[in-house]
């Protein structure tokens, strides 16, 4: 079984190396390496799932990695229900994204590079979730950051793309800096960084220590999982090829933070205030991102903001201590978000890369497969039963109520309304109504089977994957996960009333109806709404101007400081001093030079003068 | 007189340089082929050192004492421990690659060039192997002169200014160093009645606190200039920019490490109490170096200057590490010395390759290299990532351990250090984007990708970049006794102080002797 685990983890890496190093003669056939690599990994993950379902866990130490005194980190892997759910989800979704990519990236000059990165991405994520200690987790953690950098900036000739890749890496690094401090605090208080020891020690640590550890770790999660204030990289990440967006959003990156918090449930349960912060940030991010999505016209960016918003839900789940609901939503979301991005990619494919929804319309007739699967994904995202998203989102909101977080519940419920609205706004603008751009419409066509088949498979997933979690704690999914998660202490449970239970769904349906009436019936007209709420509309259009604020208050001042230091300190102060000393030396030298006349008479005068001076000074004493 | 292996490793490059005098300066290829062979043999010899080296032993191995100037107590006393060995290996490794990289770069005075390189190799190895202060000083100076010529003769437009600045700075350091050595020498005589420069004998000396503080500063400033520690760093960018590629590589890869080595081998063990006294100051300077170096790199327009300033930041990490006085920080710093030698060395090779192609180092002149030089770009990318400490590559191990150690010594220091790794990503990625990504500029369209020779310069470095990142254990084990010995020397004085305060009189004396091997004052 160890071998299967090692195989599952490393085959994608081998695929990446083969394509990356030796693949150049077989450029066009890169997928013959990459897809089987993920396929093997997927089968391995399913096999492992069966193994873990039987009640086993697995711990493998491959080698001693960093041994320094008592700081001893192993390259160790840990397979338990939580990591199994993660690898199964990651490899499944990734596999179909890989297949889809064959069609989508066909003919791209960077075809081989693309598949090499894609494999590396999956490997990094598998490493992240399979690590048995925080330092190795951090390796995967930074490695997915690297892959996102490479893939977001895949079309490196475009400045906006390489800017976006850079931004993703740097913003992630800010979070990672916090994560490192979390590891340090952990090591110097617990004396170890492996999960088992840390979790066993967690209840005995002081509140301040646990608070510090969990806060620092959460900083990392804010970066990786795009939560406020570090979410700004994710919308820009749309510069990458669309399947990459699907991968980042569904499987291999942004879920890492949620996973990490759930993995650290023993720590987050040990001390409430940071956990509350997690839930609070999650709720705030959920509604903030949803509000921006309401007015955005870029088909991919709407989806990007929806991811940020949905991640917010997941953090509500893990923040309030209902870890399993957070992971459940992560797992359902992976399917329908991958589906949504791939369908969006299919639309773009048909429209020669067009992203602006204002130029689309009526596409349903032209591309029925894409249209239907998109609607399935949107229904799942909007939380309409029996689609997957309904069960997981509902579970989170219900738990929030049960545990007395009424404000968070309200925010989540309102966000559900907004979610349904912007998703169906997108659908009505893209697939229905009259074509806004005749030319584009005329040339539109359905994508090839290599792309639509993965869509249908994921669409089926978006319908059924939620069913394993019906009934929450009593359901197979939650029971399976239970041994991996620590249950947070909470006060008396407040049973929700009937209207509270059904309000999120009602809000979701209302959102769909409003979108239909605004964008199909022009009642009220979108333009009129924009005029009525002009200031608000502008704020939303400008994405609350967060990027601009960061630029003015953080990036620019630091750069200015750097220039200033270079010019003032390095050039003038230090070099000035050095050159000054050199000049002084030369000056003194030249004076001495003049004195040194070579005439003995002059020397005599000086000697007599000096002797007199010394004598005089002695006498004065 | 039978020569031992270590001494052979030290003098072999000089021996190898002798036949060069009789070779024709016309045939550059033969000259370089011969020198490459010599440096490879030298590398092989140093590998024999590794083969016979016993891991996990404290103290020095391959120790040998030859008579040198007995009248003043100076001897040819050499010996190595894990730290010396790893630095010697780095030196022989980088020198060979440096020669390999110079085939096209050096266009005139090739004969003198190879002689200077070989001379410098002896100097560098000698520094890391000397256990006699005078001998150490001799080698220290010996390798300055070739470097001066390297910059002054084979440098670029402002080479004379840069060479001069380099010499002025380092001479100022040397003056302090020799003064310090002599004061220590005479103090030792006044206490023991013996004239000796032998380091191991001087280790036993217990220098009075006030004198120790002064001497520590003299040594420390000499070493700080070499490292360089802020604010003694401004010679570095100029020297790097003007030096030929191989000069830059050795300057960054080896010469800067001599400063750190000096701290660990001389300044700390000789004056442990003073080291503790000044530790906060130097930790602060280390942090300033990290942040300041990053800021400076960020605003550079010249590729080579950017790399040079990034060295200031990296060395800041190393300085921070050695002054934490714990295993994590020290081990991290020692491994980071090697990492910096590899990563920054490789970066200088890369900049040199670009310069050979375009005869410019301005960042804005490049762009889109990924399109025209794909293999080169991939290697450049990996090296760049190693430099910013990406986990899985070598840089991470060192930086992580240094920060871990810093966190133990002072949380405050660690907070600044982690900010440093963010900035590292900022300036490196910005540079990389502007050079490798974006649209190809027309003048870069025809650039040839990496040649086979160039590939063999970089590939060995890549091997170590991955190896140390994935499996650093052998490297950490090699230097473990050194690091722990340094820390024990420092910590034991700390403890001894406490003990002595508690127990005065003969009992206290005895205990302090037992613990430290020194006499209590």
Judging contacts by C-beta atoms under 8 Å, the chain B residues touching residue A139 are 391-392, 396
Task: Tell me the mean pLDDT in the region B482-487.
Answer: 90
A468-475 contacts, C-beta under 8 A, 24 or more apart: A469/A328, A469/A332, A469/A391, A469/A392, A469/A395, A470/A391, A472/A324, A472/A325, A472/A395, A472/A398, A473/A324
Number of inter-chain CB pairs under 8 A, A vs B: 125
Smallest Cα distance from A68 to chain B, Å: 6
Smallest Cα distance from A106 to chain B, Å: 19
Q: Give yes or no for B392 touching A (CB within 8 A).
A: yes
Nearest C-alpha neighbor of A146 from the set B340, B363, B385:
B385
- Give the tens place of pLDDT for each residue, A16-42: 998 888 877 777 888 888 999 999 999
**Beta carbons within 10 angstroms of residue B409's beta carbon:** 21
**Rounded Cα distance, B191 and B471, in Å:** 48
Q: Give yes or no for B51 touching A (CB within 8 A).
A: no
- Say if CB A374 and CB A341 are below 8 A apart: no
DSSP string computed for A25-64: GGGGGTHHHHHHHHHHHHHHHHHHHHHHHTT--EEEEEEE
Q: Do B425 and A170 touch (CB under 8 A)?
A: yes
Predicted confidence at residue B512, as pLDDT, reads 45
B515 has a pLDDT exceeding 50: no
List, in order, residues 6 or more apart from B53 with CB less than 8 Å away: B61, B62, B80, B82, B85, B478
**Is B357 inside a domain boundary?**
yes
Which chain A residue is nearest to residue B296, measuring alpha carbons? A566
Q: Do B437 and A157 touch (CB under 8 A)?
A: yes
Using pLDDT thresholds of 50, 70 and 90, give the confidence band for residue A541: confident
- Give the tens place of pLDDT for each residue, A579-608: 777 777 777 777 766 666 666 666 667 776
B521 has a pLDDT exceeding 80: no
Q: Give yes or no for A565 touching B (CB within 8 A).
A: yes
A-interface mutation test, from B426, B450, B469, most A Cβ less than 10 A away: B426
Predicted confidence at residue A536, as pLDDT, reads 86
Smallest Cα distance from B132 to chain A, Å: 30
Out of A157, A180, A573, whose CB is closest to B418?
A: A180
Judging contacts by C-beta atoms under 8 Å, the chain A residues touching residue B430 are 166
- Say if CB B313 and CB B416 are below 8 A apart: no
**Is B384 inside a domain boundary?**
yes
Write out the H or E segment, with its range, that includes residue A171. helix A159-190
Strand partners of residue A27: none
How many residues appear in chain A? 621
Q: Do B401 and A66 touch (CB under 8 A)?
A: yes
A-interface mutation test, from B328, B333, B376, B467, most A Cβ less than 10 A away: B328
Q: Give yes or no for A177 touching B (CB within 8 A).
A: yes
Judging contacts by C-beta atoms under 8 Å, the chain A residues touching residue B421 are 173, 176-177, 180
**Is B466 inside a domain boundary?**
yes
Which chain B residue is nearest to residue A177, measuring alpha carbons? B418
Q: Do B438 and A157 touch (CB under 8 A)?
A: yes
- Give the tens place of pLDDT for each residue, B376-414: 999 999 999 999 999 999 999 999 999 999 999 988 999
Q: Which two tokens stand for residue B407?
A: 């966190």
- Give the tens place of pLDDT for each residue, B298-351: 988 999 999 999 999 999 999 999 999 999 999 999 999 999 999 999 999 999
A-interface mutation test, from B425, B442, B470, B478, most A Cβ less than 10 A away: B425
Smallest Cα distance from B156 to chain A, Å: 20
B97 has a pLDDT exceeding 90: yes
pLDDT > 90 in chain A, percent: 47
Judging contacts by C-beta atoms under 8 Å, the chain A residues touching residue B301 are none
B42 has a pLDDT exceeding 90: yes
pLDDT > 70 in chain B, percent: 94
Predicted confidence at residue A523, as pLDDT, reads 81
- Say if CB B75 and CB B67 are below 8 A apart: yes
**Is B506 inside a domain boundary?**
no
What is the overall mean pLDDT for chain B?
A: 88
Q: Do A142 and B418 touch (CB under 8 A)?
A: no
Q: Give yes or no for A62 touching B (CB within 8 A).
A: no
The bridge status of strand A71-79 relative to strand B61-69 is unpaired
B160 has a pLDDT exceeding 90: no
Which chain A residue is nearest to residue B237, measuring alpha carbons? A570
**Is B457 inside a domain boundary?**
yes
pTM of the full structure: 0.90
Out of A67, A156, A163, whose CB is closest to B476?
A: A67
Predicted confidence at residue A108, as pLDDT, reads 85
DSSP string computed for A449-476: HHHHHHHHHHHHHHHHGGGGGTTGGGSH
SS3 B171: helix
Judging contacts by C-beta atoms under 8 Å, the chain B residues touching residue A67 are 473, 476-477
A175 has a pLDDT exceeding 80: yes
Predicted confidence at residue A90, as pLDDT, reads 93
The bridge status of strand B61-69 relative to strand B74-80 is antiparallel
**Rounded Cα distance, A181 and A510, in Å:** 45
B-interface mutation test, from A23, A66, A142, most B Cβ less than 10 A away: A66
Which chain A residue is nearest to residue B232, measuring alpha carbons? A574
**Beta carbons within 10 angstroms of residue B137's beta carbon:** 20
Lowest mean pLDDT among A351-365, A368-382, A391-405, A488-502: A488-502
- Give the tens place of pLDDT for each residue, B205-263: 888 999 999 999 999 999 999 888 988 888 888 888 888 999 899 999 999 999 999 99
Smallest Cα distance from A105 to chain B, Å: 18
Lowest mean pLDDT among A374-378, A475-479, A495-499: A495-499
Predicted confidence at residue B59, as pLDDT, reads 86
Q: Is B41 exposed, middle or buried (0-12, 13-18, 19+ CB in 10 A)?
A: middle
Lowest mean pLDDT among A517-526, A570-579, B215-224, B460-469: A570-579
**Rounded Cα distance, A160 and B427, in Å:** 18
- Give the tens place of pLDDT for each residue, A542-581: 888 888 888 888 888 888 888 888 888 877 777 777 777 7
Nearest C-alpha neighbor of A87 from the set A40, A133, A54:
A40
Which chain B residue is nearest to residue A171, measuring alpha carbons? B422
B88 has a pLDDT exceeding 90: yes
Strand partners of residue B261: none
Q: What is the DSSP letter of B410?
A: -
Which chain B residue is nearest to residue A179, measuring alpha carbons? B418
**Rounded Cα distance, A52 and A444, in Å:** 46
Q: Give yes or no for A17 touching B (CB within 8 A).
A: no
Q: Do A570 and B408 touch (CB under 8 A)?
A: no
Q: Which two tokens stand for residue A165?
A: 């890749």
Task: Tell me the mean pLDDT in the region B10-14.
Answer: 93
Which chain A residue is nearest to residue B413, measuring alpha carbons? A181
- Give the tens place of pLDDT for each residue, A314-347: 999 999 988 999 999 999 999 999 999 999 999 9
The widest CA-to-CA distance across chain B, in whole angstroms, is 81
Predicted confidence at residue A271, as pLDDT, reads 76
Strand partners of residue B78: B64, B130
What is the overall mean pLDDT for chain A?
A: 88
A376 has a pLDDT exceeding 90: yes
Predicted confidence at residue B520, as pLDDT, reads 41
B431 has a pLDDT exceeding 90: yes
Smallest Cα distance from B166 to chain A, Å: 11
Predicted confidence at residue A23, as pLDDT, reads 76
Predicted confidence at residue A617, as pLDDT, reads 72
**Rounded Cα distance, A167 and A164, in Å:** 5
**Rounded Cα distance, A335 and A463, in Å:** 9
**Beta carbons within 10 angstroms of residue B108's beta carbon:** 10
**Is B514 inside a domain boundary?**
no
**Rounded Cα distance, A152 and A12, in Å:** 19
Predicted confidence at residue A596, as pLDDT, reads 66
Q: Which two tokens stand for residue A122?
A: 């999956």
Domain carrying residue B295: 289-479
**Is B186 inside a domain boundary?**
no
Predicted confidence at residue A447, as pLDDT, reads 86
Predicted confidence at residue B6, as pLDDT, reads 92
Q: Tell me if the bond preceding A229 is cis, omega within 30° of 0.
A: yes
Q: Give yes or no for B400 touching A (CB within 8 A).
A: yes
B496 has a pLDDT exceeding 80: no
Out of B404, B419, B473, whose CB is closest to A67?
A: B473
Q: Do B404 and A187 touch (CB under 8 A)?
A: yes
Smallest Cα distance from A145 to chain B, Å: 10
B217-244 CB burial, b ≥16 within 10 A, e <16: bbbbbbbbbbbbbbbbbbbbbbbbbbbb
Judging contacts by C-beta atoms under 8 Å, the chain A residues touching residue B331 are 68-69
Predicted confidence at residue A563, as pLDDT, reads 86
Q: Do B299 and A146 touch (CB under 8 A)?
A: no
Using pLDDT thresholds of 50, 70 and 90, give the confidence band for residue B122: very high
Using pLDDT thresholds of 50, 70 and 90, give the confidence band for residue B127: very high
Q: Do A157 and B425 touch (CB under 8 A)?
A: no
Q: Give yes or no for B65 touching A (CB within 8 A).
A: no
B-interface mutation test, from A68, A142, A220, most B Cβ less than 10 A away: A68
**Is B353 inside a domain boundary?**
yes
Q: Do A68 and B328 touch (CB under 8 A)?
A: yes
Tally of domains within chain B: 1
B491 has a pLDDT exceeding 90: no
């Amino acid at each position: 079984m160890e071998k299967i685990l090692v195989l599952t983890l490393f085959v994608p890496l081998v695929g990446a190396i083969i394509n990356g190093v030796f693949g150049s003669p077989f450029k066009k056939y890169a997928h013959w390496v990459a897809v089987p690599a993920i396929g093997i990994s997927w089968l391995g993950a399913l096999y492992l799932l069966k193994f873990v379902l039987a009640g086993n866990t697995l711990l493998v130490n491959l080698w001693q990695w960093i041994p320094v005194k008592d700081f001893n980190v192993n390259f160790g892997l840990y397979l338990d229900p939580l990591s199994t759910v993660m690898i199964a989800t990651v490899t499944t979704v990734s596999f179909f994204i890989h297949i889809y990519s064959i069609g989508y990236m066909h003919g791209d000059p960077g075809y081989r590079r693309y598949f090499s990165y894609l494999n590396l991405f999956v490997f990094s994520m598998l490493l992240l979730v399979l690590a048995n200690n925080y330092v190795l987790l951090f390796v995967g953690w930074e490695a997915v950051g690297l892959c996102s950098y490479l893939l977001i900036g895949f079309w490196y000739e475009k400045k906006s793309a390489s800017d976006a890749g850079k931004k993703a890496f740097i913003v992630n690094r800010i979070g990672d800096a916090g994560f490192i401090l979390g590891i340090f605090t952990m090591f110097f208080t617990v004396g170890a960084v492996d999960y088992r020891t840390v979790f066993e020690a967690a209840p005995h640590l002081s509140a301040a220590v646990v608070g510090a550890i969990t806060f620092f770790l959460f900083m990392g999660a804010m970066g990786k999982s795009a939560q406020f204030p570090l979410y700004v990289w994710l919308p820009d990440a749309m510069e990458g090829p669309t399947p990459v967006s699907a991968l980042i959003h569904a499987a291999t990156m942004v879920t890492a933070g949620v996973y990490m918090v759930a993995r650290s449930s023993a720590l987050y349960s040990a001390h409430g205030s940071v956990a509350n912060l997690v839930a609070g940030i999650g709720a705030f991010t959920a509604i903030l991102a949803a509000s921006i999505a309401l007015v955005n016209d870029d088909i991919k960016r709407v989806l990007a903001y929806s991811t940020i918003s949905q991640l917010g839900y997941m953090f509500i789940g893990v923040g309030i201590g209902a870890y399993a609901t957070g992971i459940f939503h992560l797992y359902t979301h992976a399917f329908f978000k991958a589906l949504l991005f791939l369908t969006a990619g299919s639309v773009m494919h048909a429209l020669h890369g067009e992203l602006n929804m204002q130029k689309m319309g009526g596409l349903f007739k032209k591309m029925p497969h894409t249209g239907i699967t998109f609607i399935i994904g949107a229904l799942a995202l909007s939380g309409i039963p029996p689609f997957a998203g309904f069960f997981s989102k509902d579970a989170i909101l219900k738990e929030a109520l049960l545990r007395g977080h009424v404000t968070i519940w309200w925010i989540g419920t309102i966000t559900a309304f907004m979610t349904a609205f912007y998703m169906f706004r997108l659908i009505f603008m893209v697939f229905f109504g009259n074509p806004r751009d005749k030319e584009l419409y005329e040339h539109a066509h359905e994508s090839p089977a290599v792309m639509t088949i993965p869509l249908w498979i994921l669409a089926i997933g978006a319908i059924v994957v939620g069913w394993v979690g019906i009934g929450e704690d009593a359901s197979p999914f939650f029971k399976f996960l239970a041994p991996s998660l620590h249950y947070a202490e909470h006060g008396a449970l407040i049973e929700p009333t009937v209207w509270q239970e059904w309000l999120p769904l009602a809000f979701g349906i209302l959102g769909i109806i409003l979108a239909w009436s605004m964008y199909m019936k022009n009642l009220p007209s979108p333009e009129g709404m924009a005029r009525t709420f002009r200031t608000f509309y502008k704020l939303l259009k400008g994405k609350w101007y967060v990027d601009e604020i960061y630029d003015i208050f953080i990036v620019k001042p630091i750069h200015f400081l750097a220039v200033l230091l270079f010019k003032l300190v390095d050039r003038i102060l230090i070099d000035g001093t050095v050159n000054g000393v050199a000049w002084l030396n030369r000056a003194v030298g030249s004076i001495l030079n003049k004195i040194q006349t070579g005439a003995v008479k002059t020397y005599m005068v000086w000697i007599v003068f000096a002797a007199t001076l010394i004598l005089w000074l002695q006498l004065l004493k | 007189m039978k020569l031992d292996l270590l001494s052979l490793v030290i003098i072999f490059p000089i021996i190898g340089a002798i036949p060069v005098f009789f070779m024709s300066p016309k045939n550059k290829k033969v000259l370089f082929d011969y020198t490459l062979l010599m440096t490879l043999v030298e590398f092989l010899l140093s590998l024999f050192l590794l083969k016979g080296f016993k891991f996990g032993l404290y103290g020095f191995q391959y120790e040998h004492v030859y008579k040198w100037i007995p009248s003043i107590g100076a001897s040819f006393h050499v010996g190595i421990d894990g730290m010396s060995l790893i630095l010697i290996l780095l030196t022989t490794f980088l020198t060979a690659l440096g020669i390999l990289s110079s085939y096209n770069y050096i266009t005139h005075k090739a004969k003198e060039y190879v002689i200077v390189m070989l001379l410098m190799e002896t100097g560098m190895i000698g520094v890391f192997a000397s256990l006699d202060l005078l001998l150490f000083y001799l080698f220290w100076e010996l390798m300055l002169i070739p470097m001066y010529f390297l910059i002054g003769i084979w440098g670029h437009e402002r080479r004379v200014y840069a060479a001069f600045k380099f010499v002025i700075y380092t001479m100022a350091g040397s003056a302090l160093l020799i003064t310090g050595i002599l004061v220590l020498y005479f103090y030792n005589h006044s206490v023991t009645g013996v004239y000796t420069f032998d380091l191991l004998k001087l280790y036993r000396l217990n220098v009075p606190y006030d004198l120790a503080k002064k001497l520590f500063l003299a040594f420390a400033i000499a070493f700080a200039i070499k490292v360089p520690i802020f604010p003694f760093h401004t010679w570095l960018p100029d020297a790097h920019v003007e030096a030929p590629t191989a000069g830059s590589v050795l300057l960054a890869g080896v010469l800067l490490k001599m400063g750190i080595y000096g701290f660990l081998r001389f300044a700390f063990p000789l004056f442990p109490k003073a080291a503790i006294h000044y530790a906060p100051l130097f930790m602060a300077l280390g942090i300033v170096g990290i942040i300041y170096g990053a800021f400076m790199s960020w605003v550079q327009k010249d590729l080579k200057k950017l790399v040079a300033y990034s060295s200031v930041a990296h060395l800041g990490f190393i300085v921070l590490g050695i002054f934490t006085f714990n295993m994590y920080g020290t081990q991290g710093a020692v491994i980071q010395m090697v990492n910096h030698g590899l990563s920054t060395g490789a970066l200088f090779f890369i900049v040199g390759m670009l310069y050979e192609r375009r005869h410019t180092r301005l960042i804005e002149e490049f762009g889109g290299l990924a399109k025209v030089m794909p293999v080169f770009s991939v290697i450049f990318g990996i090296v760049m990532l190693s430099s910013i400490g990406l986990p899985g590559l070598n840089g991470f191990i060192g930086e992580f351990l240094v920060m871990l150690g810093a966190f133990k010594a002072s949380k405050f220091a660690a907070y600044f250090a982690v900010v440093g790794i963010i900035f590292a990503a900022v300036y490196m990625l910005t540079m990389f984007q502007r050079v490798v990504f974006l649209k190809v500029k027309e003048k870069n369209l025809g650039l040839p990708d990496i040649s086979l020779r160039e590939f063999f310069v970089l590939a060995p470095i890549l091997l170590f970049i991955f190896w140390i990142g994935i499996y650093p254990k052998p490297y950490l084990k090699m230097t473990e006794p050194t690091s722990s010995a340094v820390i024990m020397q420092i910590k034991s004085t700390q403890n001894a102080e406490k003990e002595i305060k508690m127990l005065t009189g003969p009992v206290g004396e005895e205990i302090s002797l037992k613990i430290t091997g020194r006499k209590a004052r």
